């Protein structure tokens, strides 16, 4: 899961991303602890953030992968004489699944 936070340097405030294995904040606490202390990729300023303030967003690589997969399947079954709406639903299903994962992560906060 890719998580984002904003740099705490007032003159930068750029979006940074970290990659974690966890898909919820409880696992994240086990994985990286209660807060991050990461260096900004843009200005090298260290930002301390409680993990409740990290937010997940959609993984567009997975969605693009779904679109490519659907395109390949469409080409493969083209000869069969039907191009179904089925292949169109693949990227949509992947998109919805990613959105569900991200919003589930963002909704659940840890208490301490
Ligand atoms: Zn910065």
Per the domain annotation, does 41 fall within a domain? yes
| Measured CA angle at 109 (ends 107, 112), to 5 deg | 175
Distance (angstroms) between ligand 1 centre and the Cα of 39 equals 8
Distance (angstroms) between ligand 1 centre and the Cα of 40 equals 5
Please choose, from the candidates 16, 93, 79, the residue with its C-alpha nearest in 3D space to the C-alpha of residue 47.
Answer: 16
Residue 37: predicted pLDDT: 95
Per the domain annotation, does 112 fall within a domain? no
Instruction: Please indicate, yes or no, whether residues 13 and 41 belong to a single structural domain of this protein.
Output: yes
Distance (angstroms) between ligand 1 centre and the Cα of 71 equals 39
SS3 6: strand
SS3 68: helix
pLDDT tens, residue by residue, 53-68: 999 988 888 889 999 9
Domain of residue 23: give its range.
2-56
Instruction: Please indicate, yes or no, whether residues 50 and 88 belong to a single structural domain of this protein.
Output: no
Per the domain annotation, does 77 fall within a domain? yes
Distance (angstroms) between ligand 1 centre and the Cα of 38 equals 10
Using CA atoms, how far apart are residues 66 and 94, in angstroms rounded to an integer?
7
Using CA atoms, how far apart are residues 37 and 16, in angstroms rounded to an integer?
12
Whole-model pTM: value is: 0.78
**Which residues of the chain are modeled with pLDDT < 70?**
81-85
Report how many domains make up the chain: 2
């Amino acid at each position: 899961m890719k998580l984002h936070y904003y740099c705490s340097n007032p003159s930068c405030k750029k979006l940074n991303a970290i990659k974690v294995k966890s898909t919820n904040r409880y696992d994240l606490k086990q994985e990286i602890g209660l807060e991050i202390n990461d260096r900004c990729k843009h200005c090298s300023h260290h930002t301390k953030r409680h993990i409740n303030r990290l937010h997940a967003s959609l993984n567009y690589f997975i969605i693009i992968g779904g679109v490519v997969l659907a395109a390949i399947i469409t080409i493969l079954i083209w000869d069969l004489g039907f191009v179904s709406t089925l292949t169109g639903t693949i990227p949509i299903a992947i998109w919805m699944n990613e959105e569900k994962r991200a919003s589930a992560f963002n909704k659940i906060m840890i208490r301490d």
